[in-house]
């Protein structure tokens, strides 16, 4: 029998980026807001403090800030007729847990999606014809436009303190920025980050080829900054411990550095840690939720938390899992194409070329999470999909984030993996390489989705979520196209040697090597309850007092890192809740 | 539910309390460090005597002492591996280990053994030593260096018959050897930060903003490493 807690106006599941944004926005509306976080509490001090956090083994290799598969994981299979096996040890993607979630251990690459990406199916059909969309590809429009999201992108960027160079302000192309980006209403709040040598070399090489390099938009502060909540950031000191680490320097935007200390001072906000939500409870009529049931780890008991409004703000995979377990939306069936919950899971297609320079010293440990130059000359809105034979695109960039030797020891292919030759090779080549990477889109397909596993259970006895996913020809053609653009750039820089790594025809999804944590879909937004589980305000079509945040809303993946879009969508949804829903709770569409 | 006094920590840090404490940790003089027990006298926590002899011998071939730079033994890699096997990693404490298991699944699905890494070492060392005895007439630790290299090469290539649940043995051994070589010395290996000196990694210094200035392009960073405990090399 679950203990019942005192009713709250709002219960938020998960206290990462979106939970923190919805928390402060709804607390400022005067509501009683409670956030439930399944992991531990975390703050800059003591959890990210120098020197303890500068420990590659503990955090970079043993994933100290990540979700523990023992507590929560998924199973994987490649196809509908296969048996799925558990993701037992982290590799391909690294969901966070604990206060701050994945928002503490990202690098800070902060992007807006392109205008065309929000209406991708319409764009493809209008520009190239519906017949270029391959059989089984299930791309959709988002139901929200770039223009509608622009003020919310702007707000997220000014809240998080993004360092960058605008390329298009209200239609005027600005030299030095990205000329292919959608119009923004004003420049970034901070100037671009300082660059390292690899960035200067990439900029010179791409400019010489007539391309358009611009500094990466970075959630690493380039100067002192105070945001709208009164939170202070300090300039990044290029410590080289960014991705997989909490920021020791109050420089990388995270819930901790940008929101949480302000939110914790709101008397009508509270949060409880080590409280894992097991289920969203529905009222007898099935049209509203009554609250959530969670497991209180310290008390060792189930608790029912009544609330008028339920915000799912966990990581994409966990939001989908919770919706499947709670009967929110009809589960998606890949054989009929019907149902919506779990539909259109997509990942990210990346590749890269490493270059080795015998006589150049890069000092690779000098790194911010997001410094580097990018080009968008091969972006989604720059490619003739009909001519190239694929739908999608990539941004191309160089970065130097860290020189941590266990995981960042690039050596040419002729260096052996162990023995005297390896020891000689690491001395010769550490510090003498840079790379150019492509970070690209991944389309949605009818048979790539999420459902409940029939065999494996989590510690609460609930079925694990099952991921059915494999690479498709379309996306492999896209990454091979990027290879053909990147290799001439690399060769023009005259390296001693170079080596490429891009997925080739027939590649199967391999869950072992880290790729990205940019899992999307599963709780997609859209214009029609038959084809999406959320409406354009991230509101559950079926249960109107449940809203789900995060990259689960993406109907297919964008070519960029997702956090900027996740942040903008959170402000878009919170705006709709504040201005429209609270005065008259109902389906907003 | 757990709570923390969050209201004071950030302010204290900015006022210098916590920052001062952190700096004094880094500045602790090297003389304060206890010299470690010599490797030959180290009493392993996890491995028995035969297994320890194997770990000493095998890591000494994966990162040999000969040539420029330290080897696995000079950097006390075996101590690191022993501590890892006795700890969370060796016990698979954070991994999902529920059955059913399919250890012969395609490698693309990652770790599928029902055994923890520590159990893989235990079973893998026994099976590999047996193979060395039948193929080369002695356990691995008693072979000459060239034969050891040949045996490890066979193990890496999958030419040593191992049960499927032990198939990650070589990959784990090599991964842990490199971890022990490069990790902060607080974890038992990388003694004296010798591997960091070898390649030119400055360790936990974690502050390099002035090194982004174009005048520093192509200039090797001049300072040696520091460890988390404040050791300098």
Asked if A70 and B94 come within 8 Å (Cβ–Cβ), the reply is: yes
Q: How far is A418 from chain B (nearest CA, A)?
A: 5
Q: Tell whether omega for the bond before A51 is within 30 degrees of 0, i.e. cis.
A: yes
Given a cut of 90, whether residue B127 has pLDDT beyond it is yes
Give the model confidence (pLDDT) of B133-184 as tens digits: 999 999 999 999 999 999 999 999 999 999 999 999 999 999 999 999 999 9
Euclidean distance between CA atoms B231 and B31, whole angstroms: 9
The percentage of chain A sitting over the pLDDT mark of 70, rounded to a whole number, equals 100
DSSP one-letter string for B189-217: -SGGGHHHHHHT--BT----GGGGSGGGT
Average pLDDT of A557-580? 98
| Centroid of chain to Cα B143 | 24
B contacts of A418 (beta carbons < 8 Å): 61-63, 152, 174, 177
Q: What is the structure's pLDDT at A1?
A: 65
- Compute the count of residue pairs across chains A and B with CB atoms less than 8 Å apart: 218
Please, which residues bridge with residue A13 across strands?
A: A36, A312
Q: Give how far B227 is from chain A: nearest CA, Å.
A: 9
Question: How would residue B1 be classed by pLDDT, with cut points 50, 70 and 90?
Answer: very low
Nearest to B211 among A62, A238, A457 (CB): A238
Instruction: Specify the 3-state DSSP secondary structure of B194.
Output: helix
Look at A51 and B228 and tell me if their CB atoms are within 8 Å: yes
Q: Note the pLDDT of residue B142.
A: 98
Could you give the maximum distance between any two Cα atoms of chain B, in Å? 67
The 10s digit of each residue's pLDDT in A522-533 is 999 999 999 999
Least Cα separation, residue B116 to chain A (angstroms): 11
* Positions of A marked catalytic: 518
Closest by CA to A282, choosing from A294, A291, A270, A269, is A291
Shortest distance between the Cα of B216 and any Cα of chain A, in A, equals 9
Asked if pLDDT for residue A342 goes beyond 50, the answer is yes
With 50 as the cut, is the pLDDT of residue A421 above it?
yes
Smallest CA–CA distance, residue A565 to chain B, in Å, is: 29
Mean pLDDT of A22-28: 98
- A379 closest CA partner among A445, A443, A438: A438
pLDDT tens, position by position, A119-174: 999 999 999 999 999 999 999 999 999 999 999 999 999 999 999 999 999 999 99
Give the list of residues 6+ apart from residue A138 with CB closer than 8 angstroms, or none.
Answer: A337, A343, A344, A444, A445, A446, A556
Torsion angle defined by CA atoms of residues B189, B193, B194 and B195, in that order, rounded to the nearest 10 degrees: 70
Which pair of structure tokens corresponds to residue A572? 């878009």
Window B:209-228, CB contacts with A under 8 Å: 209, 211-214, 216-221, 228
Of A179, A117, A173, A172, residue with least CA distance to A145: A117
Taking an 8 Å cut-off on Cβ atoms, the answer to whether B1 and A298 are in contact is yes
Average pLDDT, chain A: 98
Interface residue of A404, A419, A425, A507 to substitute, partner B, most B CBs within 10 Å: A419
Query: Whole-angstrom Cα distance, residue A293 to residue A313?
Result: 15
- Residue in this structure with the two tokens 């330290």, named with its chain if needed: B70
In this prediction, residues B51-57 reach a mean pLDDT of 98
B11 pLDDT exceeds 80?
no
How far apart CA A60 and CA A54 sit, in angstroms, is 9
String of DSSP letters for B73-141: TTTTHHHHHHHHHHSTTTTTTTS---S---TTS-GGG----SS-HHHHHHHHHHHHHHHHHHHHSS-GG
Kindly compute the dihedral angle of the four CA atoms of residues A260, A570, A233, A52, in this order, to the nearest 10 degrees: 60
B3 reaches A (C-beta below 8 A): yes
Range A301-322 average pLDDT: 98
Q: Prior bond to B100 cis, omega within 30?
A: yes
Partners of residue A510 in chain B, C-beta under 8 Å: 108
Residue A585 touches chain B, beta carbons under 8 Å: no
pLDDT digits (tens, 9 = 90+) for B61-107: 999 999 999 999 999 999 999 999 999 999 999 999 999 999 999 99
Q: Using the 8-state DSSP alphabet, how is residue B109 labeled? A: G
Of A236, A261, A273, the CB nearest to B1: A273
Q: Which residue has the higher pLDDT, A307 or B24?
A: A307
| Rounded distance between C-alpha atoms, residue A497 and residue A480, angstroms | 20
Q: Above 60 in pLDDT, residue B28?
A: no
Instruction: Give the pLDDT confidence score for residue B33 in this predicted structure.
Output: 58
Interface of B with A in 90-109 (CB under 8 A): 92-98, 100, 102, 105, 107-109
Dihedral sign of CA atoms B144, B145, B146, B151 in order: positive
Of A236, A299, A419, the CB nearest to B62: A419
pLDDT > 50? residue A509: yes
Note whether B203 and B225 are within 8 A (CB): yes
**Residue A323 pLDDT > 70, yes or no?**
yes
CB-CB under 8 Å, B66 with A69: no
Are A260 and A43 spatial neighbours (Cβ–Cβ below 8 Å)? yes
List B residues 126-185 in contact with A (Cβ-Cβ < 8 A). 149, 152, 156, 174, 177-179, 182-184
Selecting from A41, A50, A511 the residue whose C-beta is nearest the C-beta of B22 gives A50
Mean pLDDT over A76-88 rounds to 98
pLDDT at B4 over 50: no
Mean pLDDT across A84-101: 97
**Which residues does residue A303 pair with via DSSP β-bridges, in sequence order?**
A3, A294
Q: How confident is the model at residue A556 (pLDDT cuts 50, 70, 90)?
A: very high
Asked if A37 has any chain B CB less than 8 Å from its own CB, the reply is no
Say if residue A305's pLDDT is above 80. Answer: yes
Contact B204 A55 (CB under 8 A): yes
Angstrom CA distances, A357 to A90, A353, A387, stand at 33, 13, 36
Q: Is some CB atom of chain A closer than 8 A to the CB atom of B9?
A: yes
Asked whether the predicted pLDDT for residue B43 surpasses 60, the reply is yes
For residue B34, with 0-12 CB atoms within 10 Å meaning exposed, 13-18 middle and 19 or more buried, which class applies?
Answer: exposed
User: What is the per-residue pLDDT for A2?
Assistant: 87
Q: Which residue on chain B is closest to A75 by alpha carbon?
A: B109
Mean pLDDT of A312-318: 98
Strand A269-272 to A33-36 pairing: parallel
Report the pLDDT value the prediction gives residue B25, as an integer from 0 to 100: 43
Are the Cβ atoms of A196 and B212 closer than 8 angstroms?
yes
**B64 touching A, CB under 8 A?**
yes
pLDDT of the residue at A343: 98
Return the exposure string of A240-257: e unless at least 16 CB atoms fall within 10 Å of the residue's CB, then b. bbbbbbbbbbbbbbbbbb
What are the tokens at B186? 């607080």
């Amino acid at each position: 029998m679950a203990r019942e807690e005192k009713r709250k106006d709002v219960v938020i599941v998960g206290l990462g980026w979106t939970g923190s944004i919805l928390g402060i926005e709804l607390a400022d509306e005067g509501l009683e807001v409670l956030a439930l976080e399944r992991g531990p509490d975390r703050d800059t001090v003591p959890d990210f403090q120098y020197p303890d956090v500068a420990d590659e083994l503990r955090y970079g290799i043993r994933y100290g800030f990540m979700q523990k598969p023992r507590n929560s994981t998924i199973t994987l299979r490649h196809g509908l007729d296969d048996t799925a096996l558990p993701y037992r040890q982290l590799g391909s993607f690294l969901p966070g847990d604990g206060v701050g979630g994945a928002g503490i251990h990202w690098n800070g690459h902060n992007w807006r999606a392109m205008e065309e990406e929000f209406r991708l199916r319409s764009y493809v059909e209008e520009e190239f014809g519906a017949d270029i969309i391959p059989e089984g590809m299930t791309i959709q429009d988002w139901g929200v436009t770039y223009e509608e999201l622009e003020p919310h992108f702007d707000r997220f960027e000014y809240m998080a303190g993004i360092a960058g160079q605008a390329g298009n302000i209200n239609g005027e192309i600005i030299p030095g920025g990205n000329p292919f980006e959608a119009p923004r209403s004003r420049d970034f709040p901070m100037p671009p980050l300082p660059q390292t040598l690899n960035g200067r070399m990439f900029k010179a090489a791409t400019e010489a080829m007539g391309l358009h390099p611009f500094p990466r938009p970075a959630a690493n502060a380039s100067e002192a900054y105070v945001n709208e909540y009164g939170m202070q950031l300090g300039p990044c000191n290029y410590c080289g411990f960014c991705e997989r680490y909490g920021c020791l320097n109050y420089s990388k935007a995270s819930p901790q550095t940008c929101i949480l200390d302000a939110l914790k001072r709101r008397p009508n906000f509270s949060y409880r840690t080590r409280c894992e939500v097991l289920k969203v409870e529905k009222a007898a009529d099935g049209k509203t939720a009554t609250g959530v049931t969670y497991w209180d780890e310290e008390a060792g008991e189930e608790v029912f938390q009544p609330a008028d409004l339920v915000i799912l703000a966990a990581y994409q995979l966990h939001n989908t899992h919770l919706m499947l377990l709670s009967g929110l939306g009809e589960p998606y069936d890949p054989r009929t194409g019907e149902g919506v919950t779990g539909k259109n899971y997509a990942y990210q297609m990346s590749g890269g070329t490493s270059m080795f320079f015998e006589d150049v010293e890069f000092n690779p440990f000098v790194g911010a999470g997001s410094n580097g130059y990018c080009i968008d000359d091969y972006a989604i809105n720059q490619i003739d999909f009909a001519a190239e034979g694929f739908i999608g695109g990539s941004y191309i960039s160089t970065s130097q984030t860290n020189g941590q030797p266990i995981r960042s020891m690039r050596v040419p292919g002729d260096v052996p993996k162990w023995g005297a030759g390896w020891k000689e090779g690491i001395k010769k080549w550490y510090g003498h390489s840079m790379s150019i990477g492509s970070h690209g889109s991944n389309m949605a397909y009818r048979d790539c989705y999420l459902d409940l596993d029939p065999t494996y259970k989590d510690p609460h006895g609930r079925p694990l979520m099952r991921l059915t996913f494999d690479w498709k020809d379309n996306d492999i053609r896209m990454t091979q196209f990027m290879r053909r653009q990147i290799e001439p750039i690399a060769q023009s820089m005259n390296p001693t040697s170079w080596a490429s790594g891009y997925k080739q025809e027939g590649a199967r999804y391999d869950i072992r090597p880290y790729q990205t944590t940019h899992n999307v879909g599963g709780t997609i937004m859209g214009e029609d309850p038959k084809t999406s589980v959320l409406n354009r305000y991230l509101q559950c079509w079926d249960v109107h007092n449940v809203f789900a945040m995060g990259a689960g809303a993406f109907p297919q993946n964008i070519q960029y890192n997702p956090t900027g879009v996740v942040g903008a969508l959170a402000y878009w949804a919170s705006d709709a809740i504040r201005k429209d829903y609270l005065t008259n709770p109902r389906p907003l569409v | 539910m757990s709570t923390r006094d969050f209201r004071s920590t950030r302010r204290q840090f900015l006022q210098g309390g916590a920052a001062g404490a952190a700096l004094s940790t880094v500045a602790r003089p090297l003389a304060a460090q206890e010299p470690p027990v010599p490797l030959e006298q180290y009493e392993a926590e996890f491995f028995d005597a035969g297994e320890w002899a194997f770990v000493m011998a095998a890591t000494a071939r994966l990162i040999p002492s000969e040539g420029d730079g330290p080897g696995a033994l000079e950097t006390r890699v075996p101590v690191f591996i022993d501590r890892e096997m006795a700890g969370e990693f060796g016990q698979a404490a954070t991994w999902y280990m529920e059955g059913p298991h399919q250890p012969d699944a395609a490698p693309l699905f990652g770790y599928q053994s029902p055994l923890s890494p520590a159990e893989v070492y235990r079973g893998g060392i026994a099976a590999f030593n047996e193979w060395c005895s039948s193929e080369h007439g002695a356990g691995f630790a008693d072979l000459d260096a060239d034969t050891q290299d040949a045996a490890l090469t066979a193990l890496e290539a999958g030419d040593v018959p191992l049960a499927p649940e032990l198939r990650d043995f070589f990959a784990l051994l090599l991964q842990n050897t490199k971890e022990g070589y490069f990790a902060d010395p607080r974890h038992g290996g990388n003694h004296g930060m010798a591997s960091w000196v070898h390649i030119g990694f400055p360790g936990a210094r974690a502050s390099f903003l002035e090194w982004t200035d174009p005048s520093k392009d192509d200039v090797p960073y001049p300072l040696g490493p520091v460890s988390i405990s404040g050791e300098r090399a």
